[in-house]
Chain A
């Protein structure tokens, strides 16, 4: 259905509680959005659940994997049946996902990502791509294509109690409404490296300003070698910086163990973590024994509550992105559920 076609009475009744929050216009934007989700693991499961409930136009799931025993940790669309182990995952879960909301078109594609890369025009059909649990080379390769095609990209992954969201949304215009202060905001004001007020519409009657804000994003490989972090944190913040940021980025250098019982070598992780701290210009002291133990143990593991927080945050940001009301996450969010922190860094 097109953006111009009004919501039906049935749609309004079903989406009542969310339309009351974000309005009809956003619901219409959601209804016209076509999204690709790469890999449906623990966090992918949460994202697809949230976006199907939200009422997107269509979602394509791309995942060539077969069901593994450890998938029964957080992937709740899997039936409780051991005999499916070894079978391709998507055909088994798709019907269960459709049950959530039959208004959303759901397609599945079990082609391996590497084969898709051979014909990247495939990506053109999507307004937005969400990639989960990619390794570094896959992420960089995908980002190269999304950059070339100007398609916004979200990347996310889980490591037990920890997780991340990395965004390259190319550019994004939003029009938030703010109460006007004593001094009116000026158009063409740069708020920071990536954020510019391009337009200000002042409404005297309600004393509000409708701003047009441009958020600009950098390609993901640039995030991996950024020197920006120390400039964004004060001394105290730098000192109490959690090791989850350098360790999550360190884990991009490791492959997920084939045997889920295996752990990541702690000393290799320590060396990589320290190297990354030096590279990012942050104190190496954050790499504590406690964090190294947790990360070597929990790397690449899935845990439902953490998947829920991360998948909820990502899906919410996708809705925010599509609604054009506020700025989306730019460009790295770290979830540390040990410290109950979710900092966002502009790298």
Chain B
């Protein structure tokens, strides 16, 4: 017998031999990635490419079981590839890439086209959307997965047969009105947002006028017509610019004293003058630093005391302790800016920045009589930390690899007809109830209103010589010949929004393709039917040494869909509307459990790490 006896028994000889011979891609080598790679390697895949841009941190180690303490700061993709070597019983070829999957130079479309199947193990929307679009260009099946805490889900995507990643709109982070953040906070999160996106950003980060939208005049005007409040915000902001200059030409104590005095006293006193704000709100109480000065000086000289305060991140600090932390943090940030670093961005794992945000958020909370939080809790809010555990990742990765391997049941070498596998596949959600652990749902076809999958997509393949020699006219003729546009009327848009041809604009017709600026490998070319009869097609320009005789995708364009096109030709993707998908649980009619609702709302999108 051989080591793969079980695999042959379970997968069957045909599927197993397809798995052995194929090349797949796994994007992301974090929480899901570690588990998934183990499963894929033990399924005997022929070749697995792994892409991740991240490095390993301590907080990964509670679940990313392929990493060790001594791996901290190393590349995730390179480390996982090495780590699975110890159990690579079926000699899978592992090809790690340290890099950003959205980098078209490192990962051109020709690179993508080598994979028969792609597994996403990502933690962010942008990269998920990008991989999703690449799969649509190439008609490569994709397994989407995500976990958050005890919840998780998988979604198999068969391009143009089932819903793509963008077919369901995703939940976006909650935002707050500028006035709430700047003038009238009432919750800890308001003060944390203020500390991180306004105060910290304006003092230490790369200078821009946006202040994370928190000094946007138009936005402020849309929220309030209180002249005093608007004027006050402008003043506050301008003074912050002065304070920033102090970082470079004052000592730590002066900077700190000025900072506390302006931010927690003068600004608050000015707010108090705008009486309309406090008619139905509790008034803030300015912080008088002199009250604390003596104690502050004493503690700052006392190393044991300092260590005690810094040591306990789960404790809620007092006003004095927050001032101590603020002093130490601003001193350190100031020193860093006076030294090598030209600006500092907030990073939850950069202790100085987190300490500064924690202490200043808390001091603001104290002033506004809001609950004070521990550094541990503030880190979660400020750093958008999503709880993550080994078990959920193990379960979801297990389903991801099971469902992905199911694809190899059939031979897709010759055809990309996914109708059968699409019918047999389902999305799976963890939903723990007394009578079941998961819920699965049949896949549905693409959403007609989805800006991503409601248009056709494919590659425009040209050799470097052809790009140099062929004219735009040749391309227009080729398109008309291939797709049968009535009246021969098409419009071509290159890149995000540059019109290069339509019936009323033929200036470029005689130009060589290579002379059109932006006509390069990896750029997008949108072809629209000027008569509005046929659906649009988005072409990915792929410049290759050899492409035989096919220049354009061999597809038949369907009728134009109902959706408007404005969001379809860029990388912006679907509008982010917060709606939940509702999975109706048909099987629960009889088993009544008082603590669980029959219909459970579930978010499709979950962030992982």
A-B contact pairs, 7 of them (CB 8 A): A21-B150, A77-B87, A78-B87, A100-B65, A237-B590, A340-B428, A341-B438
Nearest A residue (CB) for B84 = A76
Within 8 Å by CB of A232, from B6, B88, B591, lies: B591
Q: Does B380 contact A (CB under 8 A)?
A: yes
Q: Does B35 contact A (CB under 8 A)?
A: yes
Which A residues lie within 8 Å of B313 (CB)? Answer: 9, 12
Contact of A12 with B65 in the complex, beta carbons under 8 Å: no
- Do A16 and B59 contact each other (CB < 8 Å), given the known contacts A234-B590, A260-B6, A302-B6? yes
Nearest B residue (CB) for A308 = B398
- Do A49 and B65 contact each other (CB < 8 Å), given the known contacts A24-B314, A303-B7, A313-B395? yes
- Do A99 and B68 contact each other (CB < 8 Å), given the known contacts A12-B376, A80-B86? yes
Q: A189-B594, A304-B42, A307-B398 are in contact. List 7 more A-B contacts (CB 8 A).
A: A53-B62, A69-B2, A73-B3, A80-B89, A304-B398, A308-B395, A309-B395
Q: Does A152 contact B (CB under 8 A)?
A: no
Shortest A129–chain B CB gap in Å is 19
Q: Does B330 contact A (CB under 8 A)?
A: no
Q: Does B434 contact A (CB under 8 A)?
A: yes
Interface size on A, residues (CB 8 A): 79
Which B residues lie within 8 Å of A302 (CB)? Answer: 6
Contact of A49 with B390 in the complex, beta carbons under 8 Å: yes
Which residues from 306 to 331 on chain B have a C-beta closer than 8 Å to any C-beta of chain A? 311-314
Contact of A305 with B387 in the complex, beta carbons under 8 Å: no
Contact of B9 with A20 in the complex, beta carbons under 8 Å: no
| Bound Cα distance from A54 to B390, whole angstroms | 8
Q: Does B509 contact A (CB under 8 A)?
A: no
| Bound Cα distance from A54 to B389, whole angstroms | 8
Which B residues lie within 8 Å of A185 (CB)? Answer: 594
Which A residues lie within 8 Å of B594 (CB)? Answer: 185, 189, 191
| Bound Cα distance from A259 to B43, whole angstroms | 21
- Do A316 and B5 contact each other (CB < 8 Å), given the known contacts A76-B38, A304-B39? no
Contact of A297 with B87 in the complex, beta carbons under 8 Å: no
4 closest Cβ pairs, A-B complex: A312-B394, A21-B387, A304-B42, A308-B398
Number of inter-chain CB pairs below 8 Å: 214
Within 8 Å by CB of A344, from B6, B7, B434, lies: B434
Contact of B395 with A72 in the complex, beta carbons under 8 Å: no
A interface: dominant SS: mixed
| Bound Cα distance from A346 to B435, whole angstroms | 8
Nearest A residue (CB) for B35 = A308
Which B residues lie within 8 Å of A330 (CB)? Answer: 434
0/1 string, B367-407, CB within 8 A of A gives 1: 00000000010001000011111111111011101110100
Within 8 Å by CB of B59, from A17, A70, A232, A260, lies: A17
Q: Does B471 contact A (CB under 8 A)?
A: no
| Bound Cα distance from A161 to B399, whole angstroms | 11
Q: Does B350 contact A (CB under 8 A)?
A: no
Contact of A74 with B42 in the complex, beta carbons under 8 Å: yes
Which A residues lie within 8 Å of B2 (CB)? Answer: 69
Which A residues lie within 8 Å of B58 (CB)? Answer: 13-14, 16
| Bound Cα distance from A46 to B398, whole angstroms | 11
Shortest B56–chain A CB gap in Å is 13
Contact of A333 with B437 in the complex, beta carbons under 8 Å: yes
Shortest B598–chain A CB gap in Å is 14
Shortest A152–chain B CB gap in Å is 18
Which A residues lie within 8 Å of B380 (CB)? Answer: 20
Most chain A CB within a 10 A radius of its CB, from B63, B85, B437: B437
Q: Does B546 contact A (CB under 8 A)?
A: no
Contact of B392 with A316 in the complex, beta carbons under 8 Å: yes
| Bound Cα distance from A330 to B437, whole angstroms | 12
Which B residues lie within 8 Å of A17 (CB)? Answer: 59, 62-63, 385-389, 609
Which A residues lie within 8 Å of B38 (CB)? Answer: 76, 304, 308
Shortest B204–chain A CB gap in Å is 25
Which residues from 190 to 239 on chain A have a C-beta closer than 8 Å to any C-beta of chain B? 191, 195, 211, 232-234, 237
Which residues from 552 to 609 on chain B have a C-beta closer than 8 Å to any C-beta of chain A? 587, 589-591, 593-595, 609
Which residues from 1 to 55 on chain A have a C-beta closer than 8 Å to any C-beta of chain B? 9, 12-18, 20-21, 24, 46, 49-50, 53-55
Contact of A12 with B42 in the complex, beta carbons under 8 Å: no
Which A residues lie within 8 Å of B149 (CB)? Answer: 21
Most chain B CB within a 10 A radius of its CB, from A14, A20, A99: A20
